[in-house]
Structure 1
Amino acid sequence: MAQKPSIPKGTRDFNAEEVAKRSYIIETIKTQFQLYGFQPIETPSFENSETLMGKYGDEGDRLIFKILDSGEYFEKVKGNVVDLSKYKEVLENLVETLEDIIQNCKELNDLYYSDFQFLFSEVKKKIISKRLYNDEIIDNVDEFDTLIKKLIDYNVISEYKKVPAYKKRRVQDIINYFYNKKINKHLTSQITSKALRYDLTVPFARYVVQHQNEIEFPFKRYQIQPVWRADRPQKGRFREFYQCDADVVGSKSLFQEVEFVQLYDAVFTALDLKGVTIKINNRKILSGIAEVIGAQDKLIDFTVALDKLDKIGEEKVKEEMRSKDISEEGIAKLQPLFELKGDFGDQVASLKSILGSSEIGLKGIEELEFINTAISNLKLKTAQLQLDVTLARGLNYYTGAIFEVSAPKGVKMGSIGGGGRYDDLTSIFGKPDTSGVGISFGLDRIYLVLDELNLFPATITESTKVLFINFGDKEAMACLQAVSKLRTNGVKAELYPDSAKMKKQMTHADRRNIPYVVLVGEEEINAGLFTLKNMKSGEQDKLSFEAMLEVLK
């Protein structure tokens, strides 16, 4: 039985027309990158897992595609052999706590005591053994893994309502710590040492540190390559897609942010996509707000929830904040944030009243005012700059200004660009105090917007300009000589390869939207002429090569 052809969800094939349109966007962006002084680099499609993991927050880490090692690498961990001796202290704490709870249950004559006792005995028997204490390797991880999962899924702890809550939490914390942080991470790191890149920024930071002795700072680079995310596919969201990034590292000047706003404006103006909104905020302002509401230790939870305001609305955002243990008092202090209105100046005034004396928050406002003043003086061509204090962008590495670009009003589409300032990204690779700022263009979403608004120029999808009809070997040879001369003069020309019926060849040209066909028979060969037919009007003329070239150019 033949296999049904298919591709993975979240990926796509592109036909000739789609490739031409995508190339048009890429070339337009690339032209502006180069005009602004950015240099091209490329990095591998996959990186070492440790390069990517932990750089995007918990949500980002879950979306990273890990690559299963094969060949000799996989042989090294065949059979799930894991050394558990290093987890001896964690296991002992687990057993001690379980014994404590069992004793409580026994005294309470709980109905579940016998089941829980049996389960505990099995776990203890398997993981606390002489082999473990002798620092030997437990080689049957599958059995151990099943027992731990059973303990978690069994959820017997929650059934003991009279057992103190802190003890329940302690046991669950230990189990989760041991199972999720130790076993899974240990196994995963052994068999997936590489991962597909999630974005272009972290690999760029790695590149900068690795090649720092070859780079002249400030270093301006652009990169146009595919990235991969294990996301849920939907309109405008794919698992494989291109990013078009421009970054500057080695400069803390806010003029870099000003120039990136101008770059966004230049690209979208060149694409004739007028009326885009460049939203701007500053992570320092968000840190200041978190400080004011007493949630400094929950900055990531706070910003991730706030970033969803446009998608899920105010009440759902508040619910998510409550679920992250942000106090009602703190959420109440955020209310003015949800109701900010007016122009840039009005919103800044309101923000200052919310932030009070937060030093970091007021620093963020100062930076935004600098950028806004500069753009007001320089003027934008077709885009508009807008302050959006709910803009958070979930990536952990942003530390200053953050950007997000939305399509013109009336187009339902997520962001078509984004970026921001990151002061600490290269420090994770051993190069501290190297500030950077960058932006990205969402190629696939920009494509969908241009397509919806019919903004692609008609000429970009033209392929072959003229098709020569094949009447036989002698005629075909004469045609090929003309085809070669046309190509030399920059005309896209081709010969139909087979000596088929003329109707079939004409139909082929029509279906491919080829605007002209040339007929060369015995008469044309003897006269040194070419019969050129316009496929749209149906008109045809006998022309010299020079006259035909003039029409086709």
Structure 2
Amino acid sequence: MPTKEPVKGMRDILPDEMRLRNDVLAAMRNVYGSFGFEQIETPCMERIENLQSNQGGDNEKLVFKVLKRGEKLAKAVQTSRVDELSDAGMRYDLTVPLARYYARNSEKLPLPFKAMQIGPVWRADNPQQGRYRQFYQADIDILGDESPNAEIELVCATSLFLKQMGIAHRVRINDRRLLAALAATCGFEADRYSDVFVVMDKLDKIGVDGVCGELRSIGCTEESVDTYRRILEDFGEAPDKLAYCERALSAHVEAATLESLRAIESGVTALTRGACVPRLDLSLVRGMGYYTGTIFEVESPEFGSSIAGGGRYDRMVGEFAGKSVPACGFSVGFERIIQVLLEKAQTEESEDRIAVLYERGQTIEQITRLQEEYQPLREAGKTVLLQKKARNFARQKERLAAAGYGQIIVAHDDSAKG
């Protein structure tokens, strides 16, 4: 028997939210387009070997696998091997598909290539409040530019978009090479860096004491842990963060890494006229293992966590293309932004949204004349909804007001309702 409920972890989107989503997407395309980003589209499914290529971090554990079809499926079933049943999967992000896309189409694309991708992704995650198995991602990436200008444009474009959305924000930056220098200075074992970074990434959640405790629990020496704590404390007190890193990590950090971070900080500050000043944060890790250089996150006081983030991933595209291709990208937490804007919009109505209600019993000719009367307002950019007046007029007005209609007019009645 059919059911009206959607698949677990997925949801229907009602018109008021859909309208907002379209407005946000339009603003995003406009802002990113002004920086020269061009929109592309990749398939919702990717070959399973691409989704399990050890480039997607923990997301690879959350792939929705797609069964083989027909004879191929029947043959796979006979082998009794589960890993033979699938040859494709739903994409869990937009970065791996972009790397494949560029490797396949690079000869047809400009260099550097500035890509904008907006679309749904799927993760077989445990659904909970605010977390779904299908959700939208919005990414911008620059491929083929190894200079800090890529990071500067990515951060500035995203900052401008958030400003237009009325979302206060700040940008934190770091560099995976700087993290490696920190780990080396502390004396952590080189073959344990990935484990150390996983623990460091929990700093915001469990604090310095919690991180130090976990580092000890995975076998790090007391001396290394104490050095890590001291460097974090001194870094926090330092007026010039980059200058401190240059002194404290000098034996293990290259000058080019610090110069790149300095250039990004000054470039973003200048391009945004001081509206966005990136802040170096030595505690920023970002868990995706494919990052090779700069990493960044955007925070907002209106959210409980970051709303955007990204970094440089110079090796991923090369895995597909067979040659080195520098790449850097930024992903915006589209669903989180929508949720906050929806909460703001609940108390807002727009005078540009007009509901015209006609009395019951009107002929199609009378209704058509009403359409003609209000068509000039639509052509002027306003929204005009033509609707039959309900018997429960009060309830109808409530629903229209909730949908953002600032004007509610009963046709052939001189009094405007609402």
The answer to whether the superposition gives a TM-score over 0.5 is yes
Task: Describe the shift of the 1:457–1:382 C-alpha distance in structure 2 as closer, same or farther (beyond 3 A).
Answer: farther
Kept after mapping to 2: 8 A contact 1:480/1:495: no
Kept after mapping to 1: 8 A contact 2:140/2:330: yes
State which of 408, 411, 414 in structure 2 corresponds to 1:516.
408
Task: Describe the shift of the 1:343–1:34 C-alpha distance in structure 2 as closer, same or farther (beyond 3 A).
Answer: farther
- Post-superposition offset of 1:301: 1.6
- Post-superposition offset of 1:429: 0.6
State which of 204, 208, 215 in structure 2 corresponds to 1:310.
204
Matches within 5 A, 1:189-338: 189-274=83-168, 276-292=169-185, 293-338=187-232
Q: Indicate the structure with greater helix content.
A: 1
C-alpha deviations, 1:89-111, integer Å up to 9, x for none? xxxxxxxxxxxxxxxxxxxxxxx
In the alignment, is residue 398 of structure 1 matched against residue 291 of structure 2?
A: yes
Identity %: 30
Task: Describe the shift of the 1:481–1:376 C-alpha distance in structure 2 as closer, same or farther (beyond 3 A).
Answer: closer
C-alpha deviations, 1:305-338, integer Å up to 9, x for none? 2112102222332343344443333322211343
> In structure 2, what is the equivalent of residue 373 of structure 1?
266
Q: Indicate the structure with greater strand content.
A: 2
Task: Describe the shift of the 1:412–1:510 C-alpha distance in structure 2 as closer, same or farther (beyond 3 A).
Answer: closer
Kept after mapping to 2: 8 A contact 1:199/1:227: yes
C-alpha deviations, 1:93-135, integer Å up to 9, x for none? xxxxxxxxxxxxxxxxxxxxxxxxxxxxxxxxxxxxxxxxxxx
**2:152 and 2:346 mapped to 1: Cα distance?**
28
- Post-superposition offset of 1:415: 1.0
C-alpha deviations, 1:45-102, integer Å up to 9, x for none? 1101111213445523212222233433321112334xxxxxxxxxxxxxxxxxxxxx
In the alignment, is residue 418 of structure 1 matched against residue 309 of structure 2?
A: yes
> In structure 2, what is the equivalent of residue 161 of structure 1?
none
C-alpha deviations, 1:154-191, integer Å up to 9, x for none? xxxxxxxxxxxxxxxxxxxxxxxxxxxxxxxxx34311
The 3-state SS of whatever aligns with 1:29 is helix
Larger radius of gyration: 1
**1:218 and 1:15 mapped to 2: Cα distance?**
39
Task: Describe the shift of the 1:19–1:430 C-alpha distance in structure 2 as closer, same or farther (beyond 3 A).
Answer: same
**1:191 and 1:427 mapped to 2: Cα distance?**
29
Task: Describe the shift of the 1:17–1:382 C-alpha distance in structure 2 as closer, same or farther (beyond 3 A).
Answer: farther
- Post-superposition offset of 1:23: 1.9
> In structure 2, what is the equivalent of residue 531 of structure 1?
413
> In structure 2, what is the equivalent of residue 29 of structure 1?
28
In the alignment, is residue 68 of structure 1 matched against residue 67 of structure 2?
A: yes
Q: Which amino acid aligns with 2:173?
A: I
**1:456 and 1:509 mapped to 2: Cα distance?**
15
> In structure 2, what is the equivalent of residue 54 of structure 1?
53
**1:445 and 1:461 mapped to 2: Cα distance?**
27
- Post-superposition offset of 1:271: 0.7
Task: Describe the shift of the 1:62–1:322 C-alpha distance in structure 2 as closer, same or farther (beyond 3 A).
Answer: farther
- Post-superposition offset of 1:477: 1.7
C-alpha deviations, 1:494-515, integer Å up to 9, x for none? 5546xx8x63467535532353
> In structure 1, what is the equivalent of residue 39 of structure 2?
40
Kept after mapping to 2: 8 A contact 1:26/1:443: no
In the alignment, is residue 364 of structure 1 matched against residue 257 of structure 2?
A: yes
C-alpha deviations, 1:411-440, integer Å up to 9, x for none? 342110001111111111133221011111
**1:55 and 1:307 mapped to 2: Cα distance?**
19
**2:68 and 2:350 mapped to 1: Cα distance?**
42
> In structure 2, what is the equivalent of residue 458 of structure 1?
348
- Post-superposition offset of 1:198: 1.4
The 3-state SS of whatever aligns with 2:282 is coil
Q: Which amino acid aligns with 1:534?
A: A
C-alpha deviations, 1:192-211, integer Å up to 9, x for none? 21111111111101000011
In the alignment, is residue 480 of structure 1 matched against residue 362 of structure 2?
A: no
Kept after mapping to 1: 8 A contact 2:354/2:409: no
Task: Describe the shift of the 1:250–1:461 C-alpha distance in structure 2 as closer, same or farther (beyond 3 A).
Answer: farther
The 3-state SS of whatever aligns with 1:79 is helix
C-alpha deviations, 1:338-365, integer Å up to 9, x for none? 32455885322332343231144x4422
- Normalized against structure 1, the TM-score is what? 0.68
**1:457 and 1:439 mapped to 2: Cα distance?**
31
**2:299 and 2:408 mapped to 1: Cα distance?**
41
**2:387 and 2:50 mapped to 1: Cα distance?**
52
**1:379 and 1:492 mapped to 2: Cα distance?**
34
- Normalized against structure 2, the TM-score is what? 0.88
**1:225 and 1:255 mapped to 2: Cα distance?**
26
Q: Which amino acid aligns with 1:437?
A: C
Task: Describe the shift of the 1:315–1:390 C-alpha distance in structure 2 as closer, same or farther (beyond 3 A).
Answer: same
**2:297 and 2:227 mapped to 1: Cα distance?**
25
Q: Which amino acid aligns with 2:26?
A: E
**2:319 and 2:154 mapped to 1: Cα distance?**
25
**1:532 and 1:257 mapped to 2: Cα distance?**
58
Kept after mapping to 2: 8 A contact 1:403/1:419: yes
**2:319 and 2:298 mapped to 1: Cα distance?**
28
395-404 vs 425-434, which moves further: 425-434
- Post-superposition offset of 1:460: 6.5
Kept after mapping to 2: 8 A contact 1:337/1:389: no
476-485 vs 243-252, which moves further: 476-485
**1:54 and 1:324 mapped to 2: Cα distance?**
27
Task: Describe the shift of the 1:16–1:487 C-alpha distance in structure 2 as closer, same or farther (beyond 3 A).
Answer: same
**1:459 and 1:213 mapped to 2: Cα distance?**
49
Kept after mapping to 1: 8 A contact 2:17/2:342: no
Equivalent pairs counted in the alignment come to: 410
> In structure 1, what is the equivalent of residue 331 of structure 2?
440
> In structure 2, what is the equivalent of residue 101 of structure 1?
none
